[in-house]
Structure 1
Amino acid sequence: MSSVFSIFQRPSIRLACSFIAPYRWHALGALLALIVTASLMLFMGQGIKMIVDQGFMTRSAELLERSIGLFMLVTIGLSVGTFARFYLVSWIGERVVADLRNRVFEHLVNLHPAFYENNRSSEIQSRLTADTALLQSVVGSCLSVFLRNSLMVIGGVILLFITNPKLTSIVVLSLPLVIAPILIFGRRVRRLSRESQDRVADVGSYVAEALRQIKTVQAYNHQEQDREHFSRTVEKAFRTARKYILQRSWLVTVVISLVLGDVGVILWVGGMDVISGTITSGELAAFVFYALLVGTALGSLSEVISELQRGVGAAERISELLQIRSEITAPASNLLRLPPRVSGRLTLENVSFSYPSRPGHNAVDDLTLNIAAGETIALVGPSGAGKSTLFDLLLRFYDPQQGRILIEGAPILQLDPMDLRRNFALVSQTPALFFGSVEDNIRYGNSEATFEQVEAAARIAHAHEFIMQMADGYKTHLGDGGLGLSGGQRQRLAIARALLVDAPILLLDEATSALDAQSEHLIQQALPDLMVGRTTLVIAHRLATVQNADRIAVIDQGRLVAVGTHQQLIASNPLYARLAALQFNQSMEEVV
């Protein structure tokens, strides 16, 4: 049995125990109730002996009533104890899983973005939901059943020896036959359980991905191919589950056959002893009761151990997730603090960076740029030049391999990432909206903002008009990702959100790219007021939107190739002049 109990020595189980520890008094109460109910169940064997020997065999109504009365008293105690055990154990299971989910989610939202580039978010979601639900079943039910049946086996074997050592020797000799299948099949069940959980996660991942991109699926008439791929994924999960079920079925079948066969032998030997007068009928009845109790407990253990093995697999998957450490953290020493409101001065010194997935290619290459407080800098260049990567580095989603970035003269590597990011307001090229109301989405970056402030931000972003045309105005609930809104409407809500944050540094990544001409014109009129007193970095492919920037930085293949005003760059930088000529539909000579 050592290999069976070794599952409790695994780090994943110790992790579960660490979550149970804060509720030790509830756990102790549940354990006490478990011990009491197990003891009362074992005592029932003696009650059966008294009913048979003192009630039936003596033909005394008084003794029978006394025996039945004691039996009913034990039954009531067993019922009360079972209620307490079930309630406390279930409560612990729900509470522990709630804490575990909170812990896992807190861990996930603080992991560095590079982690999500190499891992499917839907699979991670499966660990947070399906695996924790399985753990809830283990902690809130299976563990209690395991402990209860273990006590039944131990207590039952002791009482078997006390009741009849001769018959007990038969039980003891047959125990290895019952335990062997548990050990043999248990290893296979655990391996197949882990595989089954992985296949289920694959199914969930594919569903989430297909439904998230449902418009693309239907636009390309890809439903049939997706259906076939999903069917193959489901079948693969089914085949793995079938192997798992087959192993469990064999385990239960073998254990039950051996246990009931053992009971048959006991009845034959014990019956012969009753006939010869060696033991009483009550003793045989009590012994059979204990033998059945031990056999049933062993059968339950064989099933519960399979569930525990699945729980171990789930706990290992969650433990693996919790052991991943974020690469973007606050320094352990020499931590610097920024003032409550920075001026917005930024410095990039010889910064070089390559993404983990493309280590041989520098997305940013030896780039140096000084940005004064309150200055508006436009970043222009071909697609893939590294403009958006600079925003990722400024927000410290990644750390450069060479060089350093400073805000207010402080290296950002010596800052707490949260302290750094509170100084930025980001409007990305593809704005992220969340399931919830319009008001919730605008208030996302400033949960303390009043409704008046929310409305004021929406008005500046020219979002108020279309919001008021919605069914419930600012209380209108949006679908996932702002489903149902146009690209321009989503962009204006994102701009309103950035306005409400009131950060000293604005990062506008193609902030007007999804707007129609009229909306873009309105936003362009609002942006100068928005930028007053703030440092602003604007990424734009349409040069008409950045001509009035204080300076324009031209980036190509990760390198800063020129900095100047629109007119200066037209005259001095061939790349910028070519981009301008293409966009303004003029020849190079006309632009210059």
Structure 2
Amino acid sequence: MTDSSTSTEPSRKGSLAAFRGLFPFLRPYRRQFIMAGIALVVAAAATLAIPYAFKQMIDLGFGASAGARSIKHVDATFLALFAVATVLALATAARYFTVSWLGERVTADLREAVYRHVVQQSPEFFETTQTGEVLSRLTTDTTLIQSVVGSSISVALRNALLFLGGLAMLFVTSVKLSSIILGLLVLVVVPIVFFGRRVRKLSRDSQDRIADASALAGEMLNAVPTVQAFTHERIEADRFGRSVEGAFHTAMRRIRARAFLTMLAIVLVFGTIVFVLWLGAHAVLSGDMTGGDLGQFILYASIVAGSIGALSEVMGEAQRAAGATERLLELLAARSEIQNPAHARPLPQRTAGGAAVALADVSFSYPSRPDTAALAHLNLSIRPGETVAVVGPSGAGKSTLFQLLLRFYDPQAGAIALDGVDIRDLDLHTLRGAIGIVPQDTVIFSADAMENIRYGRPEASDDEVIAAAKMAAAHEFIERLPQGYRSFLGERGVRLSGGQRQRIAIARALLKNPPLLLLDEATSALDAESERLVQAALEAAMVGRTTLIIAHRLATVQRADRIIVMEDGRIVETGTHASLVALGGVYANLAALQFHHLQAAPSETQA
């Protein structure tokens, strides 16, 4: 995923090599596999016993001597056939239940493992991987693997046993005819294997095209209002249509190749069987074989031919699932650059004054833009309990600073310390548990208001959630919702206004009660009245904790203990509002622009 070799290397391996990666998911269920194997062997043995029973019936029941003895043998043979059929039915039912359970269980484990792995990846992973592609692998690819584990493996093993057992019984019946049929089958296998490899490659391509279409659909569905606002419905529908058509044509190439493979296998295998049976018919006419022997040979030959046909069909499924397995294993092989230290250090005992933050000569470039410095030789020291406002033009590095503090990325140079401990020496949960953030792009989950706020601290009581909502000026509008705190907020909070969503996010951060609070334009979506309420709540929340604020509004900036001004990834000015305005630099220009805007549009600021 993150490396080009990752995506190309597996495609050079065989199907079995791809499925080997599933062994860790199969290993915990050895007992169920043993039970399925026993049922499989019993069912195969019962199937292989049927032709022998028919031989006995033909030779002893319909032989030259007729009478009570022949009738006795016919009765016994049919009773034996019924007993074999009963055993076959019970064993087949047990096999079906066990392997179906295994398919469902292993697929559930695999989906859980992939999802657990993906949510632990750093943001760098999602710079190069589309969400729709991940969803395709979680759904389509795992469904294919479920088909293999819950059906195809069982069918393959069953037919492999039938093939081997039937072949052995063919030699018992007639060595000459069996030797001929075996030699011809070896010649048949070569073209089947050759075309099987082509089917596998096309299967991989087909899954990739489906993932591309899913990724495109996911991106557009998340941006429907923008699509409609720019009247791009037809354009985006055409784009998706072209992507789907591309997936269709790739799938058709796979289907044509697989259909040809199936046809080739059936024609070659049954052609071989018919030729050998023609020889057998002549052997009976010449007296070298009995009718029962030929009947037995025909049935065993049919079992062998049917098992080969079924194996070729399963091989097509396996080739397709092998591509899906490779894609999932690639996803599981992706390793985040951000890892927990081998020996994590604890944070010092928390004090009432909040956390101390220090950045020493920090330089950082995003992996997708390695030649552009987002931060350059940044030095910053923040005292416990201090409120620091970070201002500057877009692209100055303000949000990047927050991402580094949360250790979504590691700087290429320099170090960041929290309470004197390098954050790379902290367990990620310890670090992020000490930080609360209100992002500029508010995230609301598909749940009710109570659970959205409780996301900040899952063990919090309802009363604590309500208290946090009151602090964030969210209590009143939540109470007015149809079911109050139990009101479903819709996907991404579509039932709320922008300001309401932001107040939910603020309540979530306040409920967490961290020593370090990061506010990224926390009041940008609020109207004047809500901003006044939230500002008062935030001021109360800032007591006893360290706060970093990215903000442009002077009402927020002026209350900060210190203002740092960033430009091109560097700190260019530091001071209070008054001292920076007097300095006449970058901050003074930003303040003058905002003052001019406030004076030119006073009604807008009070809306």
TM bucket, shorter chain: over 0.9
Mapping 1:25-44, distance limit 5 Å: 25-44=31-50
User: What residue in structure 1 maps to residue 347 of structure 2?
Assistant: 338
User: What residue in structure 2 maps to residue 3 of structure 1?
Assistant: none
Mapping 1:454-473, distance limit 5 Å: 454-473=465-484
User: What residue in structure 2 maps to residue 246 of structure 1?
Assistant: 256
> How far is 1:382 from its partner?
0.8
Q: Structure 2 residue aligned with 1:235, among 239, 245, 248? A: 245
* Count of matched residue pairs: 581
User: What residue in structure 2 maps to residue 45 of structure 1?
Assistant: 51
Contact 2:192 2:264 in 1 (8 A): no
> How far is 1:210 from its partner?
1.2
> How far is 1:347 from its partner?
0.7
User: What residue in structure 1 maps to residue 3 of structure 2?
Assistant: none
> How far is 1:8 from its partner?
5.8
Could you tell me how far apart the structure 1 residues matched to 2:20 and 2:584 are? Answer: 63
Mapping 1:333-482, distance limit 5 Å: 333=343, 335-339=344-348, 341=350, 343-482=354-493
Q: Deviations over 1:533-571 (max 9, x none)?
A: 010100002222220111111111111111111111111
Structure 1 residues 586 and 17, CA gap change in structure 2 (3 angstroms): closer
> How far is 1:177 from its partner?
3.5
Q: Secondary structure at the match of 1:278?
A: coil
Aligned-partner residue type, residue 323 of structure 2 = G
Contact 2:59 2:292 in 1 (8 A): yes
> How far is 1:273 from its partner?
2.2
The share of aligned pairs that are identical, in percent, is 50
Name the Cα RMSD after superposition.
1.6
Mapping 1:147-186, distance limit 5 Å: 147-186=157-196
Return 5+ residue gaps in structure 1 as ranges: 1-5
Could you tell me how far apart the structure 2 residues matched to 1:478 and 1:77 are? Answer: 57
Q: Secondary structure at the match of 1:435?
A: coil
> How far is 1:586 from its partner?
8.4
Structure 1 residues 472 and 46, CA gap change in structure 2 (3 angstroms): same
Q: Secondary structure at the match of 2:385?
A: coil
> How far is 1:202 from its partner?
1.0
Contact 1:167 1:269 in 2 (8 A): yes
Q: Structure 1 residue aligned with 2:328, among 306, 318, 324? A: 318
Range moving further from structure 2, 488-497 or 148-157: 148-157
Could you tell me how far apart the structure 1 residues matched to 2:500 and 2:60 are? Answer: 86
Contact 2:131 2:218 in 1 (8 A): no
> How far is 1:186 from its partner?
0.6
Could you tell me how far apart the structure 1 residues matched to 2:188 and 2:489 are? Answer: 58
Could you tell me how far apart the structure 2 residues matched to 1:190 and 1:379 are? Answer: 55
Q: TM-score, normalised by structure 2?
A: 0.93
Contact 1:93 1:136 in 2 (8 A): yes
Q: Structure 2 residue aligned with 1:484, among 490, 495, 498? A: 495
> How far is 1:53 from its partner?
1.9
Q: Deviations over 1:12-50 (max 9, x none)?
A: 322211211111111111111111111111111111112
Could you tell me how far apart the structure 2 residues matched to 1:7 and 1:98 are? Answer: 25
> How far is 1:56 from its partner?
3.2
Aligned-partner residue type, residue 221 of structure 1 = T
> How far is 1:65 from its partner?
1.1
Aligned-partner residue type, residue 128 of structure 1 = L
Q: TM-score, normalised by structure 1?
A: 0.95
Contact 1:26 1:92 in 2 (8 A): yes
User: What residue in structure 2 maps to residue 197 of structure 1?
Assistant: 207
Could you tell me how far apart the structure 2 residues matched to 1:98 and 1:451 are? Answer: 33
1:282 aligns with 2:292: yes
Aligned-partner residue type, residue 66 of structure 1 = A
Could you tell me how far apart the structure 2 residues matched to 1:420 and 1:401 are? Answer: 19
Could you tell me how far apart the structure 1 residues matched to 2:386 and 2:469 are? Answer: 24
User: What residue in structure 2 maps to residue 21 of structure 1?
Assistant: 27
Contact 1:562 1:573 in 2 (8 A): no
Contact 2:104 2:150 in 1 (8 A): yes
Could you tell me how far apart the structure 2 residues matched to 1:174 and 1:220 are? Answer: 66
Could you tell me how far apart the structure 1 residues matched to 2:305 and 2:414 are? Answer: 70
Q: Secondary structure at the match of 1:477?
A: coil
Return 5+ residue gaps in structure 2 as ranges: 1-12, 600-607
Contact 1:90 1:140 in 2 (8 A): yes
Q: Secondary structure at the match of 2:596?
A: coil
